[in-house]
Amino acid sequence: MKVLVVGGAGYIGSHVVLELQQAGHDVYVLDNLQTGHREAVATAPFFPGDIADNELLSRLISEHRIEAAVHLAADSTVGLSMQDPGIFFNNNVGKGALFLDTLVKTGVKILVFSSSAAVYGSPDNMPIKESHPLNPVNVYGSTKIMFEEMMHWYEKIYGLRWMALRYFNAAGAAPGYGIGEDHNPETHLIPIILQTILGQRQELQIFGNDYPTPDGTCIRDYIHVADLSRAHVLGLEALSAGEAGGVYNLGNGQGFSVREVVRVCEAVTGQKIAAGISPRRFGDPPVLVASAEKIKSELGWVPQYPDLESIAASAWEWHRLNPNGFNKQL
């Protein structure tokens, strides 16, 4: 298939591009480089630009006969969404709506969308199934629900075939292909631990040790970015084969506390780090663990790297080889 990946220069997007190419698809990338890296797209035609640019998008779709799209072009820092919600409503919902409208009106009716566990809020029952009520505790999660709803209506009105993949905590890298996690500023746990190990930070701050969990720190379900990315390939292929779409969780079904993640990273790198305790971070649910049974049984998704050691080892390899991320000049 000829697939347009919007947001393909970002952390997850660049890994999705790699998996699609390895599965034999022709991939084209559109990214405004707000958070993405041009260097992360080495093997696909790259178009700098915005998803809301109707003219550019229409031209790209018709010139390259695009048949399907993956949408990862969104703001994703949960904390920022609670400080400046307008950014998220504008980019994730407003520009998302323009993008979706251009897609269907240019005849692209297969879409895989990057959604999030943030749609569920702070659930009580683990693991979380797709049928769990949606109750976001931050604006970011709310914007993901809004885009899912738009796809639902575009299906009814225009026959869009769509899938929303609700990611839990993506981590890891594909260091052999020169891609990995590089956010500025970095807010995610595993890269921050690894930057501390590299001496780029003095210590890790653990956000809260008074949660109702065995060691008092938050529990998350970490998934290798390569496994996550492969699910997009399965999704696109299923939609194009005429299978029903809908929403799917993506996680490993196993939770690790912040302290456990620190221990695994220390074991993988053979180095210890200093960790202090800070107050809880606003909007952090105590526990998020996925049930990914639906995507396993319906799409045959099988994670290749379900263990946290493999995830941390690939992230460490990337950080060790690229201590300054994509900006090698620093």
Binding site for ligand UFG (CB under 6 A): 76, 78, 116-118, 168-169, 187-189, 192, 204-207, 218, 220, 258, 281, 284, 288
**Distance from the first to the final alpha carbon of the chain:** 39
For the CB of residue 24, give the shortest distance to ligand UFG in the complex, in Å.
30
Q: Which amino acid is at 183?
A: H
Residue number with CB closer to ligand UFG (12 or 66):
12
For the CB of residue 262, give the shortest distance to ligand UFG in the complex, in Å.
9
Residue number with CB closer to ligand UFG (76 or 102):
76
For the CB of residue 144, give the shortest distance to ligand UFG in the complex, in Å.
8
- Host H or E run for residue 15: helix 11-22
Kindly write down the DSSP assignment for every residue of 241-263, as one continuous string. TT---EEEEES-S--EEHHHHHH
Please state whether 7 falls in left (phi above 0), alpha (psi between -120 and 50) or beta.
left
By C-alpha distance, which of 169, 167, 193, 203 is closest to 261? 193
Q: Give the tokens for residue 142.
A: 């709310």
For the CB of residue 198, give the shortest distance to ligand UFG in the complex, in Å.
15
For the CB of residue 63, give the shortest distance to ligand UFG in the complex, in Å.
33
Q: Give the tokens for residue 36.
A: 């993405």
C-beta neighbour count of 276 within 10 angstroms: 9
Residue number with CB closer to ligand UFG (67 or 148):
148
Residue number with CB closer to ligand UFG (117 or 315):
117
Task: Render the burial of 163-187: b for 16+ CB within 10 Å, e for the rest.
Answer: bbbbbbbbbbbbbebbbbbbeeebe
Paired sense of beta strands 169-171 and 222-224, if any: parallel
Cα–Cα distance measured from residue 195 to residue 120, given in angstroms and rounded to the nearest whole number: 30
For the CB of residue 75, give the shortest distance to ligand UFG in the complex, in Å.
10
For the CB of residue 103, give the shortest distance to ligand UFG in the complex, in Å.
23
Do residues 261 and 189 touch, judged by C-beta distance below 8 A?
Answer: yes
Residue number with CB closer to ligand UFG (21 or 205):
205
Do residues 106 and 156 touch, judged by C-beta distance below 8 A?
Answer: no
Q: Is 47 helix (H, G, I), strand (E, B) or coil?
A: strand
Residue number with CB closer to ligand UFG (205 or 254):
205
Strand boundaries in 7-103, DSSP class E: 26-31, 46-48, 68-71
- Host H or E run for residue 110: strand 110-116
Residue number with CB closer to ligand UFG (2 or 280):
280
- Looking at beta carbons, which residue is closest to ligand UFG? 218
Catalytic residue numbers, as ranges: 140
Paired sense of beta strands 219-220 and 256-257, if any: antiparallel
> φ, ψ for residue 296 (rounded to 5)?
-65, -50
Do residues 268 and 191 touch, judged by C-beta distance below 8 A?
Answer: no
